[in-house]
Amino acid sequence: MTDQTAHAPACPRCGYDVRGEVATWTDRCPLDGRCNECGLDFRWQHVLDPRIQAPRWYVEQRKGRPVPVQIVATAWFALVRPWWFWRQVRLEHRVDLRRLGPYAFVLLIGFGYAAIGIAAACSFTALKVMYSGNFYTTYYGYGPSDGWETLISALFVAAAPFLTRSLPQAASGPTGPLGPMGGSAPWDFAATYLPQVGTIAILAAVFAVSSSLTFLALPVTRRRCKVRMVHVVRVATIGLACWLPALLAPVLDPAAHLLKEFGLLLPVRIDGVLRLVPILLPVLLVIWWWSATRSYLRMPHAWAVALSVAAVGILCTLSIAAYAIAPLLR
């Protein structure tokens, strides 16, 4: 019994030390237990065995896949299958804040930077094609250098959108919905999309903080279930994946314009899809907190908790957007 209790077994949810109950065992070990502090039902195997680890694809698992693969896999499963996600990631898996920090950075800064680069590259290429004729006509009829120059420039814009001042302009004159008025250098496109993508990233971070504080303020959270702060941080941080549709939405319109220049029309209207994003986002956030409350934290009244957290978090986020961020963008 000494080897089993060397790592100080505790309740996965509230951290209550259960070594006193383990000391009462004489000739056998029960399979199931209940925390005397928060009432969580658990399997003693999950509490006593330090070898139990999170899935290899999960970002906090240090002995799993490469970190970039883990970040993408974690964000993907959290976004599309949150109920399944929280059955794989359990309270018994140790929270590693040193892995959650890079995950949040990549989701907000990395994906945001990628969205700006792709949107700028699509706008730049669409204008080049618009003012110089069809891309393939330019390639085959008027010399391959123009086509290759456009392609290489677009790839460079996508990879480094804010390091493209020296590239030639896409066109001169008004550019309509694709970019700023006047001469359109690649850097100008990136600067055009920066406020929109940056605002979404800031709002995502604000919601993560406000929803965490709201969750901790609920009576069922602290008084009855006594959820530890690290678990709330894990839920809020991984939940940043719910903001990816909004973060990547600015790419849709310039991508649709680029496809249109090549004669490819999408079967749906982009403006209709963009209108769905503000409706989809609250739904994703409610489902996320509901699945985490029900399957991960194993708390009662999961729907009520999720609706309360999402509603207060969204109101706080909109308030900050209206009074702090909006004046800066004018």
Q: Is 10 helix (H, G, I), strand (E, B) or coil?
A: strand
Q: Distance of alpha carbon 31 from its chain centroid, rounded?
A: 37
pTM above 0.85, yes or no: no
Contact 228, 297 (CB under 8 A): no
Give the closest residue to 14 by CA, choosing from 46, 38, 49: 38
pLDDT digits (tens, 9 = 90+) for 59-78: 998 887 888 999 999 999 99
- Give Rg (Cα) of the chain: 25
pLDDT of residue 15: 87
- The domain spans of the chain are 1-52, 97-329
What tokens appear for 18 in the block?
């259960």
Name the helix (H) or strand (E) containing 42: strand 41-43
Residue 330 forms beta bridges with which residues? none
% helix, strand, coil for the chain, step of 5:
65, 0, 30
Give the closest residue to 246 by CA, choosing from 308, 184, 196: 196
Name the helix (H) or strand (E) containing 34: strand 32-34
What tokens appear for 217 in the block?
């303020």
pLDDT of residue 74: 96
Crossing angle of helices 270-291/186-217, nearest 10°?
30
Name the helix (H) or strand (E) containing 20: helix 19-23
d(CA 46, CA 227): 18
Q: Which residue has the tokens 């790419």?
A: 251
**Average pLDDT, 10 consecutive residues per value, the chain (330 residues):** 57 85 73 85 80 87 86 95 94 90 94 90 78 49 54 76 66 45 63 87 93 88 84 96 92 82 69 82 95 93 93 90 64
Give the closest residue to 235 by CA, choosing from 301, 270, 287, 197: 287
pLDDT of residue 267: 65
Classify the C-alpha dihedral 259-261-264-266 as positive or negative: positive
